[in-house]
Structure 1
Amino acid sequence: MRPAGGRSRVGGQAGDGPSREGGRTADAPRRDGPSRDGRPSKGALRDGRPSGGPLREGVRGRDGAGRPSRPGERPIRPGERPLRPGERPVRGRDGDGPPRRSPAGPGGPPRRPGPPPRPAVLRLGSPRRRINIALMAMAVVLSLFAGRLVQLQGLNSKTFQAKAADQRVTPEVLPAKRGSITDVNGNELAVTADAREIYLDPKEVKETQRDLIATTLSAELGKPKDGIAAKLAQVDKRYLVVARDVDPLVARKIMGMGFRGVGSKPTYRRLYPGGTLAGGLVGFVGDDGFGLEGLEQAYNKTLAGQDGQQSIEIGRGGERIPMTRSTRVAPVPGRDLRLTIDRYIQWAAYEAIAKQVKAVGARSGSVIVMDVKTGQILAMANAPEVDLRNWQATRAEDRGNKAAAEVFEPGSTNKVITAAAALEAGVVAPSTLFTVPDNIQCADKVLRDAHPHPTEQMTFAQILEESSNVGTIMAGTKITDQRLHNMFTAFGFGAKSGGGIPSEEAGLLPDWQEWSGSQRCTIMYGQGISVTALQMASVYQTIANGGVRLTPTIVAGTTDEKGQLVPAAAPKQTRVISELTARQLAGMLEKAVAGADGTGGAAAIEGYRVAGKTGTAMRYDQKCGGYCGYTATFVGFTPAEAPRLMALAVIQDPKKDHYGGTIAAPVFQEVMTFALKTKKIPPTGSTSLLR
C-alpha cells in the first residue's frame, strides 16, 4: 500500500509527502526497530531486504546497504541518518565531511535536539612541505661550511698553516759573548762572564703567592719589594724582567724555590776588574749590551759579535712539542780588543793625578804617557774617573775620556810651536839675542809676562827656558801669520788625531785670516787657541821623535775568528819639522827643566835628562761666560838625548795654586819615574844637549 500524497523526491521540501529515502514520512516518527505490535515496521529489513516493497535503483537502506543511489545523489555514509523532510545537505567550510541538516521549514515539527557539537580539531598542514623547507635550510648551511672548508684547506691553506706555526713557534735570541778588552800584556780590563736574567710571568703567579715572591726576590736580588710587587700585579703581562746580570749561583737558588711564574734565562754580564782603572777610556755597556761610552762604544761592532737565534714549537703549557721542527743559528762571539795601555803605568798615572786634583781642589785632571818611537799610548788617566762597576753613580760629565774630549787653552806649552816655526824659517837660532821688556804693545792691547822684570838681554833659548810671553812674541813676529798657522796645522791642531781615540775632539784653530790684531800675538804663547791634552802630547812626541809625527794609537790589535791576535796597522808618520830643529828644541826644553831659571825644575828625575815645558793659561768657562780660573800643564820627555817616553799632566781649575811648574810638574815627575822603571829604561846621565 502506498501512502497518500504521492511520492517525495530526495531532498524535497517539507510537507511534500513521504520520502522514499528512508521509507518514512516527515510526520511519522522514525522507527528503526520493530513496531509496537511486534511486527516489523516499514523499512525494516526482512531476509536481508527492505520491507515495503522493492527499492528503486540508487536508493540504499538506513545502513547504507542496498542498491546505489540515483544519479546525482550522494550515497548515505555508514552511521549517517537520512535527510528529514525539508532538510538540505549543508557542507562544512572545507566542503568535505558529512552534510549538516538544515532546520525544518516553516510549519514543520520542531527539530529534535541532536548530539552535542564536536570540539574543533586543528588540522595540520602537510608535513612534506615542512621537511622540504628544513632540508633546503640545511643545504644552505652545509654549503656555507663546505665553502669555508674549501677556502681554509684549499685556497688559503698555506697562509693559515704559516699563521698556526707562528703561534706555536717561539723564537729565542741567543746572545753572543762580548769580546774582552785587555791591556798590552793581556791583562783584562773588561771581560764577559755567564749570568742569568730573572723574569716574571704574572699571569701564572697565584694571588696568594705574590707577597711571598716579592719578599724573597727583593732579599735575594737586592731590588725594592714595591717594584717587584707592582710587576706581579700586572696580570695581563707575560714577561717582565726583574733583574739582569744575576750571578748563576743566586739564580739557581731562586729557581730551586719552585715559585710558579718566576723564570731564569741564560745571558752574559760585563765585568770590569779594574773598577776605575782606565774607566773613561774603556767605557761601559748598557742593559741592552751595547757600548755607551769609551772604547766599548767606539768598537762596539767588533766587541759585540753577532747574536744567534733559536726557534722551537711549544704547546699551550709552555712545554716543547716533541718531534717538531726547530731551527738554530749559532751566535758569533765578539772579538777581543788589545790596547796599548800598560795596566801598571795606567794605575800609577791615575793615582798621581787623582791625588793632586784633590790636593789643590781642582775640577779635574788628566795624564797621558806615550811611547815616543811608536806613538802608542801607555796610559790615559782622568780624575775624577768613572767607576765601571757602578757607572750610574758617576755624574754624566765625569764619565767620558777628558784627556781626549776636554778642550782648553794650552798656554806656554804652545810656545814650542812658535819656536819651531821661527827656527824652521831660519829667522832665529837658540843663541839669538833679544832685548826683552816685561810688556809689549800688540795692536790695541798691552801684553805682559807672568812676572814683572826689568828689560834684559835674553837668548831665544832663555826666552823658552823662562817662558817669556814678550820674548816669544818678539820672535814670532819675524814670521808671517800664515806660516805660523801652517805650523799649527802640521802639528795636528784643529783636527782629530785619526787614531780612533774615543770621545776625541778637534779643538779650535781659527783661520789666520780671521786673527784680530792682538790675537795674532796671544796665539803665539797659547791664548786664543784651544786644544786637547792628546793634541798637546802629540806635539811633544813629534819633537822627541826627531820631528816625525806618529798618529797616536790606543789599539794594539784585535783577535780573529780563531782567537789569534791580529796587530793593528802601523801608525801614519808625518815629518813636521827637520831633525835639526827638533834637536834644538829638545835642548831648549831641557834647559827649561834643568836650568837655573827654568820653570820646570819640579819635573826633574834623578839620573835622567828631562826636557819639558810648563804652561799656565787663563781658563775659559762657558758657565761664567768668560775666563774663570786657570789651566796648569807640564809636558815633557826623557831621556832627552835619546827620548823613549813622553808624558803630559794637565789640571783644570785648581783652587790652591795655579802654576804648571808647581802643581803639574810634580805629577809628571811621579808618573814618568814609575814608567821608566816599568819599561826598564836605564839612567843616562845629566849632560845637557846644549853646550
Structure 2
Amino acid sequence: MSPSRDGRSRDPRRPSPSGRPGRGPAPKDGRQARPRSSGTGQPPRRPSRQAPPRPRPTRTSASAGPRRGGGPTGPGAPPRRRFRLVNPRRRIKVSLVMMVGIMLVFAGRLVQIQGIDADGYAAAAAEQRRTTIDIPTTRGAITDINGKSFAMSVESRLVFVDPTEIRDDERDKLIRELSERFGLDTDRVAAKVNATPSRYQVIKKNVAPKEWKDLAERGFQGLGALVDYKRVYPDETGAADVIGFTNAAGQGAEGLEAVLDTTLAGEAGKQQVDISASGTQIPMGGGLAKDPVPGKDARLTLDQDVQWHAEQALAARSDELDAGGGSVIVMRPNGEIVAMADYPTYSPRDINSSTAEERLNGAVAEAFEPGSTNKVITVAGALEEGLTTPDTVYTVPYSIQRYDRTFKDDHFHDTERMTLSGILAKSSNVGTIQVGEQLGKQRMYDYLRKFGFGQPTGLDLPGENAGILTDPKDWWGTQLPSISFGQGLSVNAMQMASVYATVANDGVRVEPHLLAGTVDKKGEFTPAPEHKKERIVSKATADELKLMLEAVTTDEGTAATAQVPGYRVAGKTGTANRVDPETGTYKGGGHTSSFVGFAPADDPQLIVQVVLHNPKKEYYAGKAAAPVFTDVMSFALKSLKIEPTGTEAPNIRLMEDE
C-alpha cells in the first residue's frame, strides 16, 4: 500500500472518492465505477473465459444517453483502459545520441578513405577502369637473297575522334573535312563524330604520316591518331603466289606470310588505357607498359630479277599457246630456290579482285602426270642396280603389247637398236618399258620414293599436293609399264625439279628450301638450319645421267630448242595426257607439256623446270615448254654471272651402229 495525502495507507485496489482507483474525480458522464466487492467481503472474481459474453444493452432513442469514445455506457460497462505517454524529452535525447554515433562512424570512414588510405583507394579505382592493350609492332620484311623487298611494312596512322572533345561549332566542318579527305560516306562519318556515349571512334586506318600531319595542322579538337603499320607489296617484284599476303589484322594469311608468321610478327608492345563508362577504350588515358619488339626480316633464296623474268616469260608463253596455267622453277643443285613463278597470278594489293584458284601456288598445288621427264628415274634405278649401262643396246619397236594394252612411241619408227642413252635422248616409251621391267615394280617404287614422289617436298607451303604414288602391291598388269615412262602417277613441279637437282648434285638430294635465314633489328643475319640431305644414287650414276641428259638437247634429241648458246645444257622433255575430271579418262583431257634441265651440264649451277598445263596451240614439250626453258635459263645464267665451262660435249652413242 502507498500512503495517501492524509497519511493513511490506501489500498490500490480501493476506489478513490471519484470512483476510480487513484485517478482523481469520478467520470462526468454519470457512469458508475465498478464495485469493489460482490457483497461477500471478497474481491470480485474475474469471469471465466468459458462464460458467455454479457449481452450489450439495447439503446433506444428514449433511454440512450450521449456516448463518448464509442464504448458502451451504463452501470455494467467496463472501464476504459488508458495509456500513459512516454516522456518526449527522453525520446529526443536517445535519437540525438544515435544520430551522433552514426555520423561519427561515417566521418571516421571518410577520414580513412580520403586521408589515411587515399592513395590505395585511388590506385584501386584507377585499376578498375584501366586495362592493357597491344601496341602494333613493325612486321619483318620479306626480301630476296640480296635484300630487295618482296613485302615490307611502312609506318602509317590510325585516325580517330573523341566525340566528347569535339567542339559543337566544328562538328559539321570536321565531318565534311574527314569525308572529303578520305573519300568516306558522310553519314557514316557523322555517326562516328556524334556517337554517344563514346570517346573513341576509328575514322581511317593506313593513313600516310604526311597526310595525317596535314590534317592535324587544321587544329580540330577531339581528333587524334595512333601509330600503325601498313603491309606493302611492290607490284613489280612478283612472286605473289610464293609470298602470300596478310589479313586485316596484320597476320599472315597465305604463302610465306603465313608460314613465317611467327618470325615476321615480332612481339606487340603493351599500352595502358582507360575504360570509359560505356566500355570504350581511351588510348590517351594510360602510359606505355612495354615497348614493342619488331619482327625479324626473312631473307629468301629467291633472286628478285630472275623471279621477275621467269614470271614474264611464263605469262607470255601461256598466253601465246592459250594454256590453262603453268609454273617455272629455278633452283640450285643444293636445293636453294632462285625463282618460283606461277600463272595465272594476282596482285597482293588487290586481293578482292582475285580468285582462290589464281592465288594457288601451282608449283606445289597442281599435280600432273610427269610423262617422259619421269624416265630419268627409271634409268637411274637400272644404272644404280647394275642392270644396264649407257651403251647397253635394246631392240626397240614402235609398239609393244602388255596384257590388254598396246604401248607406242610418240612418232612412228621402224624397229631400232638403241642404246640406253638413245632411249633417253629420243624419249622412247617402248625402250623405257623394257628398262622398267628389268628394274621391277618394287625397286621402281623404291626409287620413286627416294627421289621424293608421293610425299611433301619440305617447303611447307600452303596447299601443297604431294601427288599420287600407289603401293606396288596394288599395281595391276599394265601399271609398271605405264609408270616407267611417267603415266599412272602424279607429281607437282617442285618434286620433279628436285629430281633433276639431285642428279645435278652428284646424286645427293637436298630438301628444297626458300628461306636463307633471318635478320634481326640490329642487322645481324642468322642462317637457316641445315636442310635434310640424302644420297639417292652414286656419283658415278649421276655423272652417267648428266651425259645422257645432255644428249637430249642435241640436234638428234627431242629438245634441240633447249640449247643455250655458249653453255652445255642437259635436260628432258615431258608430254603427258591429262585426265578429264568429268569422265575420269584421258579422252578430252588435254596435255601437260614440261621441260626440266640444268646448265652447265658438266658443272651444274642452275636447274630450270617449266610446266604448261593444257596448252592448246602446241603441246609437244620440245616446242611448247623448251623455249621457255631456254629464255629463263639464258637470263638466269647471265644475271647470276655464271660463266660457261668452256669444255666441249662428248660424242654420245645413241644407236648400235654409231
Q: Shorter-chain TM-score: what band?
A: 0.7 to 0.9
Following superposition, the deviation at residue 262 of structure 1 comes to 3.9
CA distance in 1: counterparts of 2:181 and 2:247, whole angstroms = 22
Following superposition, the deviation at residue 233 of structure 1 comes to 6.7
Following superposition, the deviation at residue 475 of structure 1 comes to 1.5
**Contact 1:91-1:100 at 8 Å conserved across structures:** no
Which residue number in structure 1 is paired with residue 226 of structure 2? Answer: 265
What does 1:440-451 correspond to in 2, within 5 Å?
Answer: 440-451=400-411
**Contact 2:240-2:347 at 8 Å conserved across structures:** yes
CA distance in 2: counterparts of 1:168 and 1:349, whole angstroms = 57
Which residue number in structure 2 is paired with residue 284 of structure 1? Answer: 245
Of 646, 667, 684, 2:628 maps to 667
Comparing 534-543 and 263-272, the one that deviates more = 263-272
Of 612, 618, 627, 2:571 maps to 612
Q: Which amino acid letter does the alignment assign opposite residue 135 of structure 2?
A: L
Comparing 174-183 and 680-689, the one that deviates more = 680-689
What does 1:16-415 correspond to in 2, within 5 Å?
Answer: 126-128=87-89, 131=92, 134-135=95-96, 138=99, 163-201=124-162, 213-225=174-186, 227-229=188-190, 231=192, 235=196, 238-275=199-236, 277-311=238-272, 326=287, 328-372=289-333, 374-415=334-375
Q: Which amino acid letter does the alignment assign opposite residue 637 of structure 1?
A: F
CA displacement 1:67-118 (0-9 Å, x = unmatched): xxx989xxxxxxxxxxxxxxxx9999x967999799xxxxxxxxxxxxxxxx
Following superposition, the deviation at residue 668 of structure 1 comes to 0.6
Following superposition, the deviation at residue 416 of structure 1 comes to 0.6
What does 1:592-611 correspond to in 2, within 5 Å?
Answer: 592-596=552-556, 598-611=557-570
**Contact 1:437-1:453 at 8 Å conserved across structures:** yes
CA displacement 1:276-295 (0-9 Å, x = unmatched): 51111122212212111111
**Contact 2:493-2:609 at 8 Å conserved across structures:** yes
Comparing 493-502 and 190-199, the one that deviates more = 493-502
**Contact 2:423-2:431 at 8 Å conserved across structures:** yes
**Contact 1:281-1:502 at 8 Å conserved across structures:** no
Which residue number in structure 2 is paired with residue 550 of structure 1? Answer: 510
**Contact 1:609-1:688 at 8 Å conserved across structures:** no
Q: Which amino acid letter does the alignment assign opposite residue 508 of structure 2?
A: V
Of 460, 481, 487, 2:447 maps to 487
CA distance in 2: counterparts of 1:392 and 1:342, whole angstroms = 28
CA distance in 1: counterparts of 2:531 and 2:481, whole angstroms = 34
Which residue number in structure 2 is paired with residue 536 of structure 1? Answer: 496
Following superposition, the deviation at residue 634 of structure 1 comes to 0.6
Question: RMSD in angstroms over aligned alpha carbons?
Answer: 3.9
**Contact 1:276-1:388 at 8 Å conserved across structures:** no
Please identify the structure whose Cα radius of gyration is greater. Answer: 1
Following superposition, the deviation at residue 190 of structure 1 comes to 1.7
Following superposition, the deviation at residue 230 of structure 1 comes to 5.6
Comparing 218-227 and 434-443, the one that deviates more = 218-227
CA distance in 2: counterparts of 1:679 and 1:187, whole angstroms = 15
CA displacement 1:433-490 (0-9 Å, x = unmatched): 3332333323333333333444333322222122222221122111221101111111
CA displacement 1:345-383 (0-9 Å, x = unmatched): 1111111111111212222211111122x3211111112
**Contact 2:274-2:282 at 8 Å conserved across structures:** no
**Contact 1:500-1:554 at 8 Å conserved across structures:** no
Residues 689 and 332 of structure 1, relative CA distance in 2, 3 Å threshold:
farther
Which residue number in structure 2 is paired with residue 457 of structure 1? Answer: 417
CA distance in 2: counterparts of 1:650 and 1:255, whole angstroms = 54
CA distance in 2: counterparts of 1:298 and 1:388, whole angstroms = 16
Following superposition, the deviation at residue 665 of structure 1 comes to 0.8
**Contact 1:220-1:250 at 8 Å conserved across structures:** no
Matched, 1:512 2:493: no
Comparing 536-545 and 546-555, the one that deviates more = 546-555
Q: Which amino acid letter does the alignment assign opposite residue 616 of structure 1?
A: T
Q: Which ranges in structure 2 are unaligned for 5 or more consecutive residues?
A: 8-16, 31-83, 654-658
**Contact 2:150-2:237 at 8 Å conserved across structures:** no
Residues 476 and 166 of structure 1, relative CA distance in 2, 3 Å threshold:
same
CA distance in 1: counterparts of 2:322 and 2:194, whole angstroms = 50
Residues 71 and 615 of structure 1, relative CA distance in 2, 3 Å threshold:
closer
**Contact 1:200-1:261 at 8 Å conserved across structures:** yes
Q: Which amino acid letter does the alignment assign opposite residue 269 of structure 1?
A: K
What is the percent sequence identity of the aligned residues?
45
**Contact 1:198-1:244 at 8 Å conserved across structures:** yes
TM norm structure 2: 0.78
TM norm structure 1: 0.75
CA displacement 1:378-437 (0-9 Å, x = unmatched): 111112223122233222222232212322221111111111112222222222233323
SS in 1 for 2:253: coil
CA distance in 2: counterparts of 1:450 and 1:467, whole angstroms = 8
CA displacement 1:134-162 (0-9 Å, x = unmatched): 458748976996999899999x9999766
**Contact 2:421-2:652 at 8 Å conserved across structures:** no
CA distance in 2: counterparts of 1:170 and 1:71, whole angstroms = 89
**Contact 1:218-1:225 at 8 Å conserved across structures:** yes
Comparing 136-145 and 384-393, the one that deviates more = 136-145
**Contact 2:18-2:24 at 8 Å conserved across structures:** no
Following superposition, the deviation at residue 615 of structure 1 comes to 1.0
Comparing 250-259 and 410-419, the one that deviates more = 250-259
Which residue number in structure 1 is paired with residue 652 of structure 2? Answer: 690
Q: Which amino acid letter does the alignment assign opposite residue 232 of structure 2?
A: L
CA displacement 1:503-533 (0-9 Å, x = unmatched): 5442222111122222222111111212111
SS in 2 for 1:477: helix
Following superposition, the deviation at residue 675 of structure 1 comes to 0.9
**Contact 1:440-1:447 at 8 Å conserved across structures:** yes
SS in 2 for 1:355: helix
CA distance in 2: counterparts of 1:159 and 1:517, whole angstroms = 86
**Contact 1:90-1:100 at 8 Å conserved across structures:** no
Following superposition, the deviation at residue 639 of structure 1 comes to 1.2
Residues 687 and 513 of structure 1, relative CA distance in 2, 3 Å threshold:
same
**Contact 1:548-1:575 at 8 Å conserved across structures:** yes
SS in 1 for 2:395: strand
Following superposition, the deviation at residue 237 of structure 1 comes to 5.2
CA distance in 2: counterparts of 1:658 and 1:238, whole angstroms = 65
CA displacement 1:241-279 (0-9 Å, x = unmatched): 333222111222333334455431111112223455111
Which residue number in structure 1 is paired with residue 548 of structure 2? Answer: 588
**Contact 2:425-2:549 at 8 Å conserved across structures:** yes
SS in 2 for 1:478: helix
Following superposition, the deviation at residue 632 of structure 1 comes to 1.2
Following superposition, the deviation at residue 338 of structure 1 comes to 1.1
Structure number with greater CO (CA < 8 Å, separation at least 6) is 2
Comparing 619-628 and 292-301, the one that deviates more = 619-628
Q: How many residues align?
A: 582
**Contact 1:314-1:320 at 8 Å conserved across structures:** no
**Contact 1:181-1:337 at 8 Å conserved across structures:** yes
